[in-house]
A and B are shown apart, each in its own frame.
Chain A
Protein backbone atom coordinates (compact mmCIF):
# COMPACT_ATOMS: atom_id res chain seq x y z
CA UNK A 1 0.00 0.00 0.00
CA UNK A 2 2.66 2.43 1.09
CA UNK A 3 4.78 1.50 -1.90
CA UNK A 4 1.90 2.17 -4.26
CA UNK A 5 1.27 5.62 -2.82
CA UNK A 6 4.96 6.39 -3.15
CA UNK A 7 5.02 5.27 -6.78
CA UNK A 8 1.95 7.38 -7.51
CA UNK A 9 3.44 10.49 -5.91
CA UNK A 10 6.70 9.89 -7.75
CA UNK A 11 4.89 9.46 -11.07
CA UNK A 12 2.87 12.64 -10.50
CA UNK A 13 6.06 14.54 -9.68
CA UNK A 14 7.76 13.23 -12.84
CA UNK A 15 4.82 14.09 -15.08
CA UNK A 16 4.57 17.58 -13.58
CA UNK A 17 8.30 18.13 -14.00
CA UNK A 18 8.20 17.00 -17.64
CA UNK A 19 5.21 19.21 -18.39
CA UNK A 20 6.79 22.23 -16.66
CA UNK A 21 10.07 21.74 -18.52
CA UNK A 22 8.21 21.64 -21.80
CA UNK A 23 6.34 24.86 -20.98
CA UNK A 24 9.42 26.60 -19.55
CA UNK A 25 11.49 25.95 -22.66
CA UNK A 26 8.62 27.39 -24.70
CA UNK A 27 8.65 30.69 -22.79
CA UNK A 28 10.40 33.64 -24.43
CA UNK A 29 13.74 34.70 -22.93
CA UNK A 30 13.49 37.32 -20.20
CA UNK A 31 14.16 40.86 -21.47
CA UNK A 32 17.22 41.76 -19.38
CA UNK A 33 18.78 38.46 -18.45
CA UNK A 34 17.90 36.17 -21.31
CA UNK A 35 17.33 32.44 -21.02
CA UNK A 36 19.31 32.03 -17.79
CA UNK A 37 16.47 33.71 -15.91
CA UNK A 38 14.44 30.52 -16.30
CA UNK A 39 16.67 28.82 -13.74
CA UNK A 40 14.43 30.54 -11.21
CA UNK A 41 11.90 27.76 -11.83
CA UNK A 42 14.29 25.37 -10.12
CA UNK A 43 16.21 27.70 -7.89
CA UNK A 44 13.37 29.11 -5.80
CA UNK A 45 11.29 25.92 -5.37
CA UNK A 46 14.44 24.16 -4.16
CA UNK A 47 15.00 26.85 -1.53
CA UNK A 48 11.40 26.64 -0.35
CA UNK A 49 11.55 22.84 -0.22
CA UNK A 50 14.76 23.01 1.81
CA UNK A 51 13.17 25.45 4.24
CA UNK A 52 10.14 23.18 4.57
CA UNK A 53 12.48 20.28 5.32
CA UNK A 54 14.17 22.29 8.08
CA UNK A 55 10.79 23.04 9.60
CA UNK A 56 9.70 19.40 9.49
CA UNK A 57 13.04 18.37 11.04
CA UNK A 58 12.48 20.86 13.85
CA UNK A 59 8.98 19.57 14.61
CA UNK A 60 10.11 15.92 14.35
CA UNK A 61 13.01 16.62 16.73
CA UNK A 62 10.69 18.16 19.32
CA UNK A 63 8.27 15.26 18.96
CA UNK A 64 11.14 12.80 19.42
CA UNK A 65 12.24 14.49 22.64
CA UNK A 66 8.66 14.39 23.96
CA UNK A 67 7.64 10.89 22.88
CA UNK A 68 11.01 9.10 22.52
CA UNK A 69 9.50 7.43 19.47
CA UNK A 70 12.27 6.55 17.03
CA UNK A 71 9.98 7.08 14.05
CA UNK A 72 10.37 10.80 14.63
CA UNK A 73 14.14 10.51 14.81
CA UNK A 74 14.13 8.63 11.50
CA UNK A 75 11.92 11.31 9.99
CA UNK A 76 14.22 14.07 11.29
CA UNK A 77 17.34 12.56 9.75
CA UNK A 78 15.61 11.68 6.47
CA UNK A 79 14.16 15.13 6.02
CA UNK A 80 17.41 16.86 7.02
CA UNK A 81 19.40 14.92 4.44
CA UNK A 82 16.87 15.65 1.72
CA UNK A 83 16.74 19.31 2.74
CA UNK A 84 20.52 19.55 2.54
CA UNK A 85 20.46 18.09 -0.96
CA UNK A 86 17.86 20.63 -2.05
CA UNK A 87 19.73 23.48 -0.44
CA UNK A 88 22.85 22.34 -2.26
CA UNK A 89 20.80 22.36 -5.47
CA UNK A 90 19.65 25.85 -4.62
CA UNK A 91 23.22 27.03 -4.04
CA UNK A 92 24.48 25.42 -7.24
CA UNK A 93 21.69 26.78 -9.46
CA UNK A 94 22.19 30.18 -7.83
CA UNK A 95 25.88 29.99 -8.56
CA UNK A 96 25.28 29.10 -12.21
CA UNK A 97 22.88 32.02 -12.50
CA UNK A 98 25.41 34.32 -10.86
CA UNK A 99 28.14 33.24 -13.30
CA UNK A 100 25.96 34.29 -16.23
CA UNK A 101 24.23 37.34 -14.72
CA UNK A 102 27.02 38.77 -12.56
CA UNK A 103 30.02 37.19 -14.25
CA UNK A 104 31.14 35.58 -10.98
CA UNK A 105 30.36 32.23 -9.39
CA UNK A 106 29.94 33.58 -5.91
CA UNK A 107 29.17 36.94 -4.28
CA UNK A 108 28.92 37.51 -0.53
CA UNK A 109 25.39 38.66 -0.99
CA UNK A 110 22.97 38.31 1.92
CA UNK A 111 20.94 35.43 0.49
CA UNK A 112 23.91 33.43 -0.74
CA UNK A 113 25.71 33.81 2.54
CA UNK A 114 22.76 32.83 4.70
CA UNK A 115 21.99 29.81 2.50
CA UNK A 116 25.60 28.68 2.90
CA UNK A 117 25.53 29.17 6.67
CA UNK A 118 22.32 27.15 6.92
CA UNK A 119 23.89 24.41 4.83
CA UNK A 120 26.86 24.27 7.20
CA UNK A 121 24.54 24.21 10.22
CA UNK A 122 22.67 21.17 8.99
CA UNK A 123 25.83 19.49 7.71
CA UNK A 124 26.97 19.71 11.35
CA UNK A 125 23.82 17.85 12.33
CA UNK A 126 24.72 14.93 10.06
CA UNK A 127 28.33 14.91 11.26
CA UNK A 128 27.15 14.82 14.87
CA UNK A 129 24.94 11.83 14.07
CA UNK A 130 27.81 10.04 12.40
CA UNK A 131 30.01 10.47 15.44
CA UNK A 132 27.60 8.89 17.94
CA UNK A 133 27.22 5.09 18.10
CA UNK A 134 24.52 4.52 20.67
CA UNK A 135 21.05 4.94 19.06
CA UNK A 136 19.21 6.62 21.95
CA UNK A 137 22.05 9.02 22.58
CA UNK A 138 22.40 9.75 18.88
CA UNK A 139 18.71 10.50 18.48
CA UNK A 140 18.54 12.68 21.60
CA UNK A 141 21.66 14.71 20.89
CA UNK A 142 20.77 15.12 17.23
CA UNK A 143 17.29 16.34 18.18
CA UNK A 144 18.74 18.91 20.58
CA UNK A 145 21.13 20.12 17.91
CA UNK A 146 18.38 20.30 15.32
CA UNK A 147 16.38 22.58 17.64
CA UNK A 148 19.45 24.79 18.17
CA UNK A 149 20.03 24.94 14.41
CA UNK A 150 16.44 25.79 13.54
CA UNK A 151 16.34 28.64 16.06
CA UNK A 152 19.49 29.95 14.43
CA UNK A 153 18.03 30.08 10.92
CA UNK A 154 15.99 33.32 11.35
CA UNK A 155 18.81 34.95 13.35
CA UNK A 156 21.30 34.07 10.61
CA UNK A 157 19.04 35.39 7.86
CA UNK A 158 18.30 38.70 9.60
CA UNK A 159 21.81 39.35 10.86
CA UNK A 160 23.35 38.70 7.45
CA UNK A 161 20.74 40.96 5.88
CA UNK A 162 21.74 43.78 8.27
CA UNK A 163 25.38 43.11 7.56
CA UNK A 164 24.87 43.36 3.81
CA UNK A 165 22.58 46.38 3.87
CA UNK A 166 25.53 48.31 5.30
CA UNK A 167 27.40 47.62 2.08
CA UNK A 168 26.58 48.39 -1.54
CA UNK A 169 24.03 45.88 -2.78
CA UNK A 170 24.89 43.74 -5.77
CA UNK A 171 22.37 44.00 -8.61
CA UNK A 172 19.64 41.54 -7.78
CA UNK A 173 16.27 40.77 -9.29
CA UNK A 174 15.52 44.48 -9.25
CA UNK A 175 11.76 44.29 -8.69
CA UNK A 176 9.63 43.18 -11.61
CA UNK A 177 7.03 40.44 -11.58
CA UNK A 178 6.00 37.33 -13.50
CA UNK A 179 3.43 37.38 -16.27
CA UNK A 180 0.40 35.29 -15.21
CA UNK A 181 1.20 32.20 -17.30
CA UNK A 182 4.70 32.12 -15.78
CA UNK A 183 3.20 32.32 -12.31
CA UNK A 184 0.97 29.33 -12.96
CA UNK A 185 3.89 27.22 -14.18
CA UNK A 186 5.91 28.41 -11.22
CA UNK A 187 3.18 27.16 -8.87
CA UNK A 188 3.09 23.73 -10.56
CA UNK A 189 6.87 23.56 -10.55
CA UNK A 190 6.85 24.36 -6.83
CA UNK A 191 4.46 21.47 -6.25
CA UNK A 192 6.51 19.12 -8.44
CA UNK A 193 9.74 19.78 -6.59
CA UNK A 194 8.02 19.54 -3.22
CA UNK A 195 6.67 16.15 -4.28
CA UNK A 196 10.15 15.03 -5.31
CA UNK A 197 11.21 16.01 -1.81
CA UNK A 198 8.40 13.94 -0.30
CA UNK A 199 9.41 10.87 -2.31
CA UNK A 200 13.09 11.23 -1.41
CA UNK A 201 12.18 11.61 2.26
CA UNK A 202 9.92 8.57 2.21
CA UNK A 203 12.61 6.42 0.58
CA UNK A 204 15.25 7.62 3.02
CA UNK A 205 12.85 7.08 5.92
CA UNK A 206 12.36 3.48 4.92
CA UNK A 207 16.11 2.99 4.67
CA UNK A 208 16.42 4.30 8.21
CA UNK A 209 13.76 1.88 9.43
CA UNK A 210 15.49 -1.06 7.76
CA UNK A 211 18.75 0.05 9.29
CA UNK A 212 17.18 0.05 12.72
CA UNK A 213 15.72 -3.40 12.14
CA UNK A 214 19.10 -4.74 11.01
CA UNK A 215 20.77 -3.21 14.06
CA UNK A 216 18.31 -4.80 16.44
CA UNK A 217 18.62 -8.19 14.70
CA UNK A 218 22.37 -7.91 14.95
CA UNK A 219 22.11 -7.13 18.64
CA UNK A 220 19.85 -10.12 19.11
CA UNK A 221 22.32 -12.35 17.28
CA UNK A 222 25.07 -11.09 19.55
CA UNK A 223 22.95 -11.79 22.61
CA UNK A 224 22.42 -15.37 21.49
Chain B
Protein backbone atom coordinates (compact mmCIF):
# COMPACT_ATOMS: atom_id res chain seq x y z
CA UNK B 1 0.00 0.00 0.00
CA UNK B 2 2.77 2.42 0.99
CA UNK B 3 4.64 1.46 -2.17
CA UNK B 4 1.53 2.23 -4.22
CA UNK B 5 1.13 5.67 -2.66
CA UNK B 6 4.79 6.40 -3.29
CA UNK B 7 4.49 5.36 -6.94
CA UNK B 8 1.45 7.59 -7.37
CA UNK B 9 3.35 10.51 -5.86
CA UNK B 10 6.41 9.88 -8.01
CA UNK B 11 4.33 9.95 -11.20
CA UNK B 12 2.50 13.04 -10.01
CA UNK B 13 5.75 14.85 -9.14
CA UNK B 14 7.25 13.87 -12.50
CA UNK B 15 4.26 15.27 -14.42
CA UNK B 16 4.16 18.47 -12.41
CA UNK B 17 7.90 18.99 -12.81
CA UNK B 18 7.72 18.41 -16.55
CA UNK B 19 4.83 20.85 -16.87
CA UNK B 20 6.33 23.53 -14.63
CA UNK B 21 9.62 23.46 -16.53
CA UNK B 22 8.03 24.03 -19.92
CA UNK B 23 4.74 25.64 -18.77
CA UNK B 24 3.39 25.02 -22.26
CA UNK B 25 -0.01 23.59 -21.32
CA UNK B 26 -0.66 25.76 -18.30
CA UNK B 27 0.15 28.98 -20.16
CA UNK B 28 -2.10 27.97 -23.03
CA UNK B 29 -4.86 27.02 -20.63
CA UNK B 30 -4.62 30.26 -18.66
CA UNK B 31 -4.65 32.51 -21.68
CA UNK B 32 -7.54 30.54 -23.12
CA UNK B 33 -9.49 30.97 -19.87
CA UNK B 34 -8.81 34.69 -20.10
CA UNK B 35 -10.02 34.86 -23.70
CA UNK B 36 -13.24 33.02 -22.90
CA UNK B 37 -13.86 35.25 -19.88
CA UNK B 38 -13.40 38.26 -22.14
CA UNK B 39 -15.68 36.85 -24.84
CA UNK B 40 -18.50 36.40 -22.36
CA UNK B 41 -18.54 40.12 -21.71
CA UNK B 42 -19.75 40.60 -25.30
CA UNK B 43 -22.38 37.90 -24.98
CA UNK B 44 -24.46 39.67 -22.36
CA UNK B 45 -24.68 42.92 -20.48
CA UNK B 46 -22.16 42.41 -17.66
CA UNK B 47 -24.07 44.12 -14.88
CA UNK B 48 -23.65 42.62 -11.42
CA UNK B 49 -27.17 41.18 -11.24
CA UNK B 50 -27.15 39.27 -14.56
CA UNK B 51 -23.58 38.13 -14.04
CA UNK B 52 -24.42 36.66 -10.67
CA UNK B 53 -27.35 34.77 -12.06
CA UNK B 54 -25.31 33.05 -14.74
CA UNK B 55 -21.99 32.98 -12.86
CA UNK B 56 -22.13 29.20 -12.36
CA UNK B 57 -22.61 28.47 -16.03
CA UNK B 58 -20.05 31.02 -17.10
CA UNK B 59 -17.35 29.86 -14.70
CA UNK B 60 -17.78 26.17 -15.41
CA UNK B 61 -17.71 26.64 -19.17
CA UNK B 62 -14.43 28.53 -18.72
CA UNK B 63 -13.11 25.81 -16.37
CA UNK B 64 -14.17 22.96 -18.65
CA UNK B 65 -12.65 24.53 -21.78
CA UNK B 66 -9.43 25.52 -20.07
CA UNK B 67 -9.21 22.16 -18.31
CA UNK B 68 -9.52 20.30 -21.61
CA UNK B 69 -6.37 21.98 -22.91
CA UNK B 70 -4.44 20.72 -19.88
CA UNK B 71 -5.94 17.23 -20.01
CA UNK B 72 -5.12 16.87 -23.68
CA UNK B 73 -1.43 17.24 -22.92
CA UNK B 74 -1.44 14.73 -20.06
CA UNK B 75 -0.74 11.63 -22.12
CA UNK B 76 0.24 13.37 -25.35
CA UNK B 77 3.29 14.71 -23.53
CA UNK B 78 4.56 11.12 -23.21
CA UNK B 79 4.51 10.40 -26.94
CA UNK B 80 7.92 11.97 -27.64
CA UNK B 81 10.77 9.47 -27.37
CA UNK B 82 8.22 6.69 -26.66
CA UNK B 83 7.98 7.73 -23.03
CA UNK B 84 4.50 6.24 -22.82
CA UNK B 85 5.77 2.76 -23.65
CA UNK B 86 8.48 3.16 -21.03
CA UNK B 87 5.90 4.23 -18.44
CA UNK B 88 3.62 1.33 -19.25
CA UNK B 89 6.44 -1.18 -19.00
CA UNK B 90 7.74 0.38 -15.78
CA UNK B 91 7.23 -1.83 -12.71
CA UNK B 92 4.19 0.07 -11.45
CA UNK B 93 0.53 -0.76 -11.85
CA UNK B 94 -1.65 1.01 -14.39
CA UNK B 95 -3.74 2.29 -11.51
CA UNK B 96 -0.72 4.04 -9.93
CA UNK B 97 0.22 5.58 -13.26
CA UNK B 98 -3.36 6.74 -13.80
CA UNK B 99 -3.83 8.18 -10.32
CA UNK B 100 -0.45 9.95 -10.44
CA UNK B 101 -1.34 11.56 -13.74
CA UNK B 102 -4.87 12.38 -12.58
CA UNK B 103 -3.54 14.07 -9.43
CA UNK B 104 -1.00 16.09 -11.41
CA UNK B 105 -3.77 17.20 -13.78
CA UNK B 106 -5.94 17.98 -10.79
CA UNK B 107 -3.33 20.32 -9.33
CA UNK B 108 -2.84 22.07 -12.68
CA UNK B 109 -6.54 22.46 -13.47
CA UNK B 110 -7.23 23.71 -9.94
CA UNK B 111 -4.40 26.22 -10.28
CA UNK B 112 -5.89 27.60 -13.50
CA UNK B 113 -9.34 27.76 -11.90
CA UNK B 114 -8.09 29.54 -8.81
CA UNK B 115 -6.44 32.17 -11.00
CA UNK B 116 -9.47 32.53 -13.27
CA UNK B 117 -11.92 32.87 -10.38
CA UNK B 118 -10.61 36.16 -8.90
CA UNK B 119 -10.13 37.47 -12.46
CA UNK B 120 -13.80 36.78 -13.05
CA UNK B 121 -14.61 38.67 -9.83
CA UNK B 122 -12.57 41.66 -10.95
CA UNK B 123 -13.75 41.77 -14.57
CA UNK B 124 -17.42 41.32 -13.81
CA UNK B 125 -17.42 43.25 -10.58
CA UNK B 126 -18.86 40.35 -8.59
CA UNK B 127 -18.08 39.72 -4.93
CA UNK B 128 -17.90 35.94 -4.93
CA UNK B 129 -16.15 35.33 -1.59
CA UNK B 130 -19.10 35.38 0.81
CA UNK B 131 -19.41 31.56 0.77
CA UNK B 132 -15.70 31.03 0.14
CA UNK B 133 -15.14 27.58 1.69
CA UNK B 134 -18.29 26.01 0.34
CA UNK B 135 -17.40 27.33 -3.11
CA UNK B 136 -13.92 25.83 -2.76
CA UNK B 137 -15.49 22.50 -1.85
CA UNK B 138 -17.73 22.52 -4.92
CA UNK B 139 -14.79 23.46 -7.14
CA UNK B 140 -12.64 20.73 -5.59
CA UNK B 141 -15.31 18.05 -6.10
CA UNK B 142 -16.40 18.97 -9.62
CA UNK B 143 -12.82 19.47 -10.77
CA UNK B 144 -11.90 16.00 -9.57
CA UNK B 145 -14.79 14.54 -11.57
CA UNK B 146 -13.63 16.46 -14.63
CA UNK B 147 -10.01 15.39 -14.15
CA UNK B 148 -10.66 11.73 -13.50
CA UNK B 149 -12.76 11.18 -16.64
CA UNK B 150 -10.56 13.59 -18.58
CA UNK B 151 -7.38 11.73 -17.68
CA UNK B 152 -9.00 8.44 -18.65
CA UNK B 153 -10.11 9.81 -22.02
CA UNK B 154 -6.74 11.43 -22.48
CA UNK B 155 -5.32 7.90 -22.28
CA UNK B 156 -8.02 6.62 -24.65
CA UNK B 157 -7.40 9.26 -27.28
CA UNK B 158 -3.63 9.62 -27.08
CA UNK B 159 -2.85 7.46 -30.11
CA UNK B 160 -5.76 8.30 -32.35
CA UNK B 161 -6.45 10.68 -35.16
CA UNK B 162 -7.98 14.02 -34.15
CA UNK B 163 -6.82 13.61 -30.56
CA UNK B 164 -7.41 17.23 -29.56
CA UNK B 165 -10.95 17.18 -30.93
CA UNK B 166 -11.96 13.80 -29.55
CA UNK B 167 -11.24 14.54 -25.89
CA UNK B 168 -13.94 17.20 -25.40
CA UNK B 169 -16.39 15.28 -27.62
CA UNK B 170 -16.07 12.28 -25.31
CA UNK B 171 -15.60 14.08 -22.02
CA UNK B 172 -18.24 16.83 -22.06
CA UNK B 173 -21.33 14.63 -22.52
CA UNK B 174 -20.15 12.30 -19.75
CA UNK B 175 -19.51 15.33 -17.55
CA UNK B 176 -22.91 16.91 -18.06
CA UNK B 177 -24.37 15.78 -14.70
CA UNK B 178 -21.27 16.94 -12.80
CA UNK B 179 -21.10 20.26 -14.65
CA UNK B 180 -24.82 20.80 -14.20
CA UNK B 181 -24.53 20.24 -10.45
CA UNK B 182 -21.45 22.43 -10.20
CA UNK B 183 -23.16 25.22 -12.16
CA UNK B 184 -26.25 25.15 -9.94
CA UNK B 185 -24.24 25.17 -6.71
CA UNK B 186 -21.76 27.79 -7.92
CA UNK B 187 -24.49 30.22 -8.97
CA UNK B 188 -26.14 29.89 -5.56
CA UNK B 189 -22.85 30.25 -3.66
CA UNK B 190 -21.66 33.26 -5.65
CA UNK B 191 -25.02 34.88 -4.91
CA UNK B 192 -24.20 34.37 -1.22
CA UNK B 193 -26.65 31.56 -0.51
CA UNK B 194 -25.05 28.66 1.39
CA UNK B 195 -25.77 25.07 0.42
CA UNK B 196 -29.05 24.12 2.06
CA UNK B 197 -31.65 21.38 1.98
CA UNK B 198 -32.95 22.46 -1.42
CA UNK B 199 -29.67 21.98 -3.25
CA UNK B 200 -27.54 19.58 -1.23
CA UNK B 201 -28.71 16.78 -3.55
CA UNK B 202 -26.30 18.27 -6.10
CA UNK B 203 -23.46 17.93 -3.64
CA UNK B 204 -24.30 14.28 -3.04
CA UNK B 205 -24.54 13.74 -6.78
CA UNK B 206 -21.08 15.30 -7.28
CA UNK B 207 -19.60 13.05 -4.60
CA UNK B 208 -21.31 10.01 -6.11
CA UNK B 209 -20.06 10.95 -9.59
CA UNK B 210 -16.50 11.31 -8.32
CA UNK B 211 -16.49 8.05 -6.38
CA UNK B 212 -18.09 6.06 -9.17
CA UNK B 213 -15.88 7.27 -11.99
CA UNK B 214 -12.71 7.10 -9.90
CA UNK B 215 -13.50 3.47 -9.12
CA UNK B 216 -14.39 2.53 -12.71
CA UNK B 217 -11.34 4.34 -14.09
CA UNK B 218 -8.90 2.70 -11.69
CA UNK B 219 -10.47 -0.64 -12.48
CA UNK B 220 -10.36 -0.25 -16.29
CA UNK B 221 -7.20 1.77 -16.85
CA UNK B 222 -4.92 -1.26 -17.06
CA UNK B 223 -7.01 -2.55 -19.99
CA UNK B 224 -6.73 0.79 -21.75
CA UNK B 225 -2.97 1.13 -21.29
CA UNK B 226 -2.19 -2.43 -22.34
CA UNK B 227 -4.85 -2.43 -25.08
CA UNK B 228 -3.22 0.68 -26.54
Contacts and interface: CB of A to CB of B under 8 A. Distances in A.
B156 A128 contact: yes
Interface in B160-211: 160-162, 166, 169-170, 173-174, 176-177, 180-181, 184, 198, 201-202, 205, 208-209
B159 A155 contact: no
A136 B227 contact: yes
A158 interface: yes
Interface of B: 149, 152-153, 156-157, 159-162, 166, 169-170, 173-174, 176-177, 180-181, 184, 198, 201-202, 205, 208-209, 212-213, 216, 220, 223-224, 227-228
DSSP majority for the B interface?
Answer: helix
Interface stretch (A80-88, A90-98, A145-153, A180-188): A145-153
Interface residues of A, number: 29
A132 interface: yes
A17 interface: no
Given A127-B170, A137-B228, 7 more contacts: A136-B227, A144-B223, A152-B176, A158-B177, A159-B202, A162-B202, A166-B184
Interface of A: 65, 117, 120-121, 124, 127-128, 131-133, 136-137, 140-141, 144-145, 147-149, 151-152, 155-156, 158-160, 162-163, 166
A80 B66 CA distance: 31
B171 to A, nearest CB: 9
A148 B176 contact: no
Contact of A151 (B152, B157, B205, B216): B216
Nearest to A157: B177
Contact of B162 (A65, A131, A152): A131
Contacts of A148: 149, 152, 174, 213, 216
Nearest to A156: B177
